[in-house]
Amino acid sequence: MSPSAAVILGSAPESFPYSVLAERHPAIIGQVREAFPYGPEQHRALDALLAGCTEGVIEPLPDGAWGEWGIDDHVGQSWFDVPWLWSESYFYRRLLDAVGYFGDGPWRGIDPFRPSKLAELDSQETDQELAALDELASRTAEEQGAALLHGSLWGNRADLGFRLSDGEAERRDAVPDLVADDSDRLWSLLDGTGTLCLIADNAGRELIPDLLLLAHLLEHGRIERAVLHVKPYPYYVSDATTADVVDALRRLVRAPGRAAEYGRRLWDAMADGRLSVRAHAFSCAPLPYADMPDDLRAEIGGAALTVLKGDLNYRRLVGDRWWAPTTSFAEVTAYFPGPVAALRTLKSDVITGLDDRTEAALVEAEGQRWRTSGTHALIQVRP
């Protein structure tokens, strides 16, 4: 029998999910309001969302949207009483409705999170991470691959430069923070044949190292093709869309040094089809991947390996549930159509695949803080 556990809700005061619904979402509404010179219509809609998301109930979406994603089961319920994954995802959809993203007016298609994404791409930290590629050039292909895998894993932490400037730093700092490390298994699946699907997470300083890793894998013949799955519309503040991929590639090709070579190779790979971008509707679904539609299942099933980046994708991969931490990662991902890897820093309560000793050591050192602090990471693979 496949393992099961209770679905995470946002209803327990003091819990991390509760704080996201009660505090993070109102703060995001405030940031979005500040970021653009919206008119009275958008301000009124944001006011209504602010009141609704903390004290109201789930309401129908325009044009009967999300019928296939369970909205009829949740209309009339408190945001805190439906699955947390569903409620958060619904928040981002409602936010986009409030600012006219899906409307017929002039705000259609304007990403409310774009200013913060661009600021990150323009930051000094991005300059430093890209400059580290020059030093990496003298290393062996394996060392380069390992560094770029860790750069992609740690994503928004500024550690590409840090790790490369100090060979020991990787062992001192990153490895103790890895609560599971199946990277050897991951490399063994990249034998040069077939397609790698990379299900991306954040834009900016996470997407840049993801792209660098893909460039490396294509260049060194570890894969034949790559498909980068991004979100069809803005989501969870910083999630990458096609527009963010374009911004990141333009940033790379204009950078000094080796970074531009990586960018140019990716640009060429886009042109000849070895790298493609996919924005499937299900990428913004409020549901676990176990519920993915048949067309996506067939597409992913044909890949040599699918890599899912980030915390949210991990929650969707294993199911957003109160798993015992030692629950088998292989068992909870057995449904996934093909070999699968998760690269994730730990930013929410969900965890599977730990061994007893690792869990005990984490609890002894930190109580339960390690689950959400973002200071630990994992590489888990189910071949």
Ligand X SMILES: O=P(O)(O)OC[C@@]1(O)O[C@H](CO)[C@@H](O)[C@@H]1O
Interaction site with ligand X (CB under 6 A): 20, 88, 201-202, 236, 310-312, 315, 347-348
d(CA 199, CA 47): 34
CA–CA separation, 157 vs 323, rounded Å? 27
Residues 154-173, buried b or exposed e (16+ Cβ, 10 A)?
bbbbebbbbbbeeeeebeee
How would DSSP label each residue in 130-152? Answer: HHHHHHHTTS-HHHHHHHHHHHH
At closest approach, how far in Å is the CB of 35 from ligand X? 19
- Where does residue 177 fall: left (phi above 0), alpha (psi -120 to 50 degrees), or beta otherwise? alpha
Min dist. Cβ of residue 117 to ligand X (A): 12
Which of 99/312 has CB closer to ligand X?
A: 312
Residue 92 or 336: the one with the smaller Cβ distance to ligand X is 92
Closest distance of CB 88 from ligand X, Å: 6
Tell the burial category of 151 from Cβ atoms under 10 Å away from its Cβ (0-12, 13-18, 19+). buried
Report whether 325 contacts 359 (CB < 8 A). yes
Q: Which is nearer to ligand X, 120 or 201 (CB)?
A: 201
Please state the closest distance from residue 94 (CB atom) to ligand X, in A: 15
Neighbours of 43 (CB within 10 A): 13
Min dist. Cβ of residue 201 to ligand X (A) = 5
DSSP string, 102-115: TSSSTTTT--TTHH
Q: Output 15 or 326, the one with its CB closest to ligand X.
A: 15
Q: Please say which residue, 186 or 378, places its beta carbon nearer to ligand X.
A: 378
Residue among 193 and 368 whose Cβ is closer to ligand X: 368
| Shortest CB 73 distance to ligand X, Å | 22
